[in-house]
Every structure is written in C-alpha cells, then in structure tokens.
Amino acid sequence: MRKVSPLLLAALTIIPLSMPVSAASVGGSTEEALAGMKTALLVLAGILAVAVVLCFITAANSGKRRKRPVSPGAAVIVYISTVLVLLVCLLCVNIYRDALTDRQTSLSDPAASDPVSDVQAFAPGTEATEVPTVEETVAPTEDPRLSFQPGKTDLSDPANWEVQWEIIENDEIVESYTRADPISFGEGSDYFALPGIATFRGNNYRNNATYGTAEVSSKTLTKVWSHGIGVYNGWGGCAWTGQPLVVQWDDGTKSIMNLYESKKTKDGLVEVIYATLDGYIHFYDLEDGSQTRDPIFMGMNFKGAGALDPRGYPLLYVGAGLYNGGKAPRMYVVSLIDGSILYEYGNNDAFAQRNWSAFDSSPLVDAETDTLIWPGENGLLYTIKLNTSYDQSAGTISVTPDAPVKTRYATAVSDERYLGYESSVSIVDHYLYVSENGGMFYCVDLNTMELVWAQDTKDDSNSSPVFEWGEDGNGYIYTAPSLHWTAEKSAGAVTIYKLNAQTGEIVWEYTRDCVTVTDVSGGVQATPLLGKEGTNIEGLVIYVIARTPSSYDGVMIAFDTETGEVVWEMDTKNYAWSSPAAFYTDSGEAYIAIANASGKVRLVDGATGEVLYALGFDQTTEASPVIFGNMMVLGTREGIYGIKIS
C-alpha cells in the first residue's frame, strides 16, 4: 500500500490541476487565460509522464517470480489512474485549443469579444445603467441606412464592359487615392440651409424640385409675370437641361449683396436666379417678377441649371454649355456679393478624353468638407477642395481651390460612342451615382475615387439619376437613357431601370418603343418625379418619354416603385424634355405640372393622371420648372414665366 500511495496522490492531484485550466477558459482576459492554461497543461503533462513510468514499474513488479510482487488491486489502481490522467490531459488540451480559436476570432472581429456588443445583440432589454459603455456602439450617423456599403457583383462588375478607370491627383495618374477630409453627405432633405431650391431637382438625391406647399382650390394655372430672354452667339432663351434656382436669403446675406435697396429691405424676399443662353445670369423677385439686381453678363451660353452653395453662402456655381468663338466652355464660381468671377476651370484639360468641355450638369457641394463635385462632358469627374473664406460682417467671400482630384474612364465602345457626363450626379453619403453619354451607369466612392460598380443602360443617358430609400432599408436608383446609339433608321426602344444602389443589379425595367431625330433625341431626356412621402403619389415614380409612338408624340407614365407596374399613363400631346414637378397641398394631394415641347403646360392629378387644366405659351419648351409654394417658374426658348396655381 505504501508503494501505491504516490500513485493515488498523483491521481488526486488531477482535480486541482484541471480546475485552473477550466477556470482560465472562461475568466480574465484572453491573454491571462491562455497563460494559465498553458502552465497547467505543462504540469499535467509531467504528471502523465510520471504515471506512465509507474505503469512500467508496476508491470515489471507484477511477475510471479518476484519476491514481493505488486498485488493485482494495486496494479489496477495504477493503470486506472494513468488512464484518468491521460483523459484529463486530452480534455484540457481541447479546452486550450478552443480558447486559441476564440482568440483568433476576436483578433479578426473585435466585436466578437466585446461583451457590450453581445448585450446589444442578444439582450436588448438590458438597462443602459448596467452596461455604461453600450452607447459607444451606436452608429455615428443619425440614419443607419447611410452606412450602407455598395459593392460589385458578377452582374455589375466593370470588367464585364471593359471599363478602364484612372484617378488623377496633382495632374498625375495615381494607383490609389485616399481623401484626407472624407466626404459624407446627409439626407437630401437636409441639403440646403435656406428655404428654396439650390440645385437641379433640389438636392443630392435629385428627388424634389418643390419647396413648401400650395393652397389649391380651383385647380387652375395663371401666368403672373414674364420676361423675354434674348439671343447670344446664335442661341436664345432657356434650354435643356436648364432649371431656375430659388432662394429666400437671410437678412444678413441680403444686406451685403448687390441687391437693389428695395429688395434688400423687403421682408421674405424670394429670389429667382437663372443663367440662360443669352450669356446672362438673371435675377427676379418670385412674387412679381421684378428685377432684384442687375444681371451679370458672362459672355457664354448656359444650358444647365447651375447651383447655389448649400451652406447659404452667396456663391453661384454655373457651367457654360457651348463654345463662343474660340473660347471653350468651362465651370465658373461667381460671387453673388458683387457678381465677380472667383474661379473658372475645366476648359482644355490635358487629361480630357473628349475635346468638348461643356458643363451642363448641376454640381453639388459637400458643405462639411467644402468640396465641389462636378462631372464634365469632357469625360472627367472633378472634385475640388474650395477653401472658401466667407466673412459676412466684412461683406467678403473668396475661394482658393486646391488642384482638382479627378477621374477619367474608357469602355469597350469608347471608339464608337463619345464620352462624357451630361446628367447631374446623385450622392448618398460618399457614394456618387452618374450616367454617361456612352450608355454606362457608374457608382463611385468619392473618398477613394475608385469605381465601385457599373451597369449597362444601353444608350446615351442625359436624365439625372434619382435616389430613394426603400422600406427594406436599402437604397435604389431610377435611371433611363435617350434613344441615340441604339437607333436603327431613327427607331428603337429605351428602357427605364430601377437599380439596387448597393449592388448595381437591375431590380425592374420597363421598355418602350420610340423614334428619334438627329440632335433632338427621343426616349427619356427628362428627370423623373419621385412621389413625396406622405402624399397621394408616395410609392410612384413618374417618367416622361419623348417621341413615342411617333416623332411628335409623348407620354407621362406613373410606375409603382416596388413592382414597376404602370399605375397610369397620359398623352403629353407633343414630346417633352421638360421634367415634371409637383405642387403639394398640406393634406398630401399632388398636382403635377408637365410642359411639352410646343409650350403647353398641363396640370395633372398626381393620383390618377387626369388632366385638370392646360396653359399655353406657343413657345418651344425644353427646360424644367421649380416650385416654391403656389408659384412655379419655367423657362422657354424665348423667356421666363412665373405661374401660379389656384
């Protein structure tokens, strides 16, 4: 029994030795637990070695020829103890291995080892006072949908169309880029700091050309005021893709601008700003159409809408759309304090893929980072840190822009189709969405300038993309092309697409036959109207298709945003390039205004498509309107009109 006692003592040691191994696997920090388990395993391994040696000694002393052989009972105890030691060793090795696996998981995914994250995910009822750090895991943005992360799939891989993408920084092509001051746009409804419409279709989602609500009773339209627009360089009036801008300036800004004195002192002044084909930037009082200040002569033709600064600064961004003699079109930044040009750029860019430097698109500005974002018809996408300095008390404003960071591209069909961007961009957080003249649609990460995904929309796209958040929390894009490259004998078809903004994949599509005319395309030239939440057109997206079924016909169609099914359709009586806009009442009723090419404006019941009223101009109309309360402003190829709904 004296010889067996050490073996029993060793066997009994297994229990206290195994306890720290198990405890280490569930308590303390990961590194401390692993260290404790490793030490315990080494001791157990030593005990196992001693037990094995004792087994050999026991076996050697169990023979019948020995004077004092080990009794069979003692031998059994030794063997059983050794087996127990081996089993415990194996168990502890398994525990140690699991702990190592958990450690690797926590290194690759820090949230996996975060007890606060576990509480949020699996115990939502736990009170915040019990876990004081729980608030640290709340997303930094107010709307968690803004943290979505777009990425390509097999169906939206740019390689499918042999897209080549280059990033240019400091006038050199670079392999990669990271923006020092990251861009992050907010919700579209928060884009403009002042009452009004600051850019084409209102904001960074391009989903609203209307500010405020209207009081509607008789459902009629009346011309309240008008101004003729002259001709310059052979071009006159207001053209596509033009749209007026409207703003209700704050008193401090009004006081330092070159407004007429009567307008500076007018309470609630709403100013209409319109850069037109006659080479001027015009300024009018929305209420009665009277001039608010002297027009600014720029000496260039303007087709696009331009944009106001979203911070409410007295800055206007406007792009020329045509050559004037030997002077190439370009982008301008204009002071609205004194009408001076603060910056011009984009003409004759050495990196341009196309010798056409028009800027018909309406730019956006990221207010937080002071970054101007502007695509050009030369095939370049520009981002420019403006370094704006505005001192309202001194009445001064200036910009000292950094060298632009830009991109250029080419595709498999670039030799057959011209490059460039004529539509305006939509931006969600730091992801930019844009269609281009060759028929492709792109998603771009503005903080790296990398192309995220691409989609083939078949033809020259001039309609601006419209973004929408879905009920599922995902984002979606509506886009459609004109009929240009794919036409055969002036006939063909165009397709309206709903795209998944994260993946670039097609959600639904609608195809319509139409015809085209050289330089006056059929198909979709207008930007769609997305029904406003809380109104009777919520859940609808309303498109205008030109030259269908014949060259002087057109339709306006309301689609169910979820299914793509046609809800209603109306005949526009002539083709239309002008984008539809809606008057909204306080009770949520929508009345849509649509102008066709022959100058007829129709007021349409948004829920049914019924035409309620028609107002004629007998002037070619291409530009899109804006609405502020009960007033709509619309440009034609001969003038500008203020129209009131009653």
Distance in angstroms between the alpha carbons of the first and the last residue of the chain: 112
105-153 per-position pLDDT tens digit: 443 343 333 333 332 332 223 333 333 333 444 444 456 555 689 999 9
Q: Which segment of 68-72, 201-205, 389-393 scores lowest on mean pLDDT?
A: 68-72
514-572 per-position pLDDT tens digit: 999 988 899 999 999 999 999 999 999 999 999 999 999 999 999 999 999 999 999 99
265 token code pair: 């002192």
CA angle 536, 541, 544 (to 5 degrees): 120
- Percent of the chain exceeding pLDDT 90 equals 74
At residue 135, the 3 state secondary structure works out as helix
User: Residue 21: is its pLDDT beyond 80?
Assistant: no
pLDDT of res. 617: 85
331-382 per-position pLDDT tens digit: 999 999 999 999 999 999 999 989 999 999 999 999 999 999 999 999 999 9
404-422 per-position pLDDT tens digit: 999 999 999 988 898 999 9
Residues with Cβ < 8 Å from 380, sequence gap 6 or more? 168, 346, 349, 351, 352, 353, 406, 407, 408
Closest among 618, 612, 620 to 593, alpha carbons compared: 612
Confidence of residue 241 (pLDDT cuts 50, 70, 90): confident
Q: Which segment of 106-120, 127-141, 162-176, 443-457 scores lowest on mean pLDDT?
A: 106-120
User: Residue 36: is its pLDDT beyond 60?
Assistant: no
Confidence of residue 78 (pLDDT cuts 50, 70, 90): low
3-state secondary structure 480-545: CCEECCCCECCEEEEEEEEEECCCCCEEEEEEEEEECECCECEECCCCCEECCCCCCCCCEEEEEE
Q: Which helix (H) or strand (E) holds 434?
A: strand 431-435
- Cα atoms found within 13 Å of the Cα of residue 67, Cβ hemisphere only: 0
Q: 381: which strand partners?
A: 375, 407
- Percent of the chain exceeding pLDDT 70 equals 78
Instruction: Tell which wins on pLDDT, 47 or 273.
Output: 273
**Helix orientation angle between 5-24 and 72-108, rounded to the nearest 10 degrees:** 10
pLDDT of res. 91: 66
pLDDT of res. 437: 95
Confidence of residue 24 (pLDDT cuts 50, 70, 90): very low
Instruction: Tell which wins on pLDDT, 100 or 436.
Output: 436
Tell me the helices (H) and strands (E) count for the chain, helix number first: 6, 42
Confidence of residue 427 (pLDDT cuts 50, 70, 90): very high
Q: Do 594 and 225 form a contact (C-beta atoms < 8 A)? A: no
User: Residue 52: is its pLDDT beyond 70?
Assistant: no
Q: Where are the domains of the chain?
A: 5-122, 147-645
pLDDT of res. 37: 58
Confidence of residue 73 (pLDDT cuts 50, 70, 90): low
181-229 per-position pLDDT tens digit: 999 999 999 999 999 999 999 999 999 999 999 999 999 999 999 999 9
> In this structure, which topology does domain 147-645 adopt according to CATH?
Methylamine Dehydrogenase; Chain H (2.130.10)
Closest among 456, 459, 434, 458 to 444, alpha carbons compared: 434
Place of tokens 């696009």: 304
Q: Which segment of 65-74, 235-244, 504-513, 620-629 scores lowest on mean pLDDT?
A: 65-74
Q: Report the pLDDT averaged over residues 502-509.
A: 98
Q: Report the pLDDT averaged over residues 574-600.
A: 97
At residue 575, the 3 state secondary structure works out as coil
Instruction: Tell which wins on pLDDT, 147 or 448.
Output: 448
Q: Which segment of 38-52, 193-207, 254-268 scores lowest on mean pLDDT?
A: 38-52
